[in-house]
Amino acid sequence: MKLIVQRVSQASVVVDGGCVGAVGAGFMVLVGCRFDDTVRDVEHLAAKLAALRIFEDEAGKMNLSIEQTGGSVLLVPQFTLYADTRKGNRPSFILSGDPARAKALFERFVETMRNTLGADKVATGVFGAEMKVSLVNEGPVTIELCSDGQPWRSQSDSKTTTKS
């Protein structure tokens, strides 16, 4: 599972001309699921995201988490995070998760974040929809969090990700 985390002062998602999710200060997070992700990946990255210290403290250092600042999170499903562009000019999405499985993992991620931060602090895009995402990136700060190399993955799984 892969997250692209952007620290924002505001972010929103529009589907079919209507706003389906919006937040003020906090994170806008693109969420990509890999073909072999599990609930363990979800739980690991949800905990990592909640504890990620990229907000400034009173001394101006990135030292505070979203939990400490009381900020909000906009979660946007994004299957293209696992695009493979090593060959040719057309991306392959072979590493992206099966849509039904990815949707279930995304929904579990949303539920986990709502349980951690509070339901009112988590907004989402719509899985599988054509979305228009707007944001104001503060800093700019953009961080990638990824569970692909975690120790619970077998050696054969890690070899799958490194093939040329």
For the annotated catalytic residues, the residue numbers are 78-80
Distance CA 36, CA 98 (A): 9
Distance CA 125, CA 111 (A): 14
Distance CA 26, CA 15 (A): 21
The dihedrals phi and psi of 124, each to the nearest 5 degrees, come to -140, 160
Both tokens of 118, joined, read 């509070």
AA identity, residue 37? D
Closest residue by Cα to residue 6 from 33, 26, 31, 34: 26
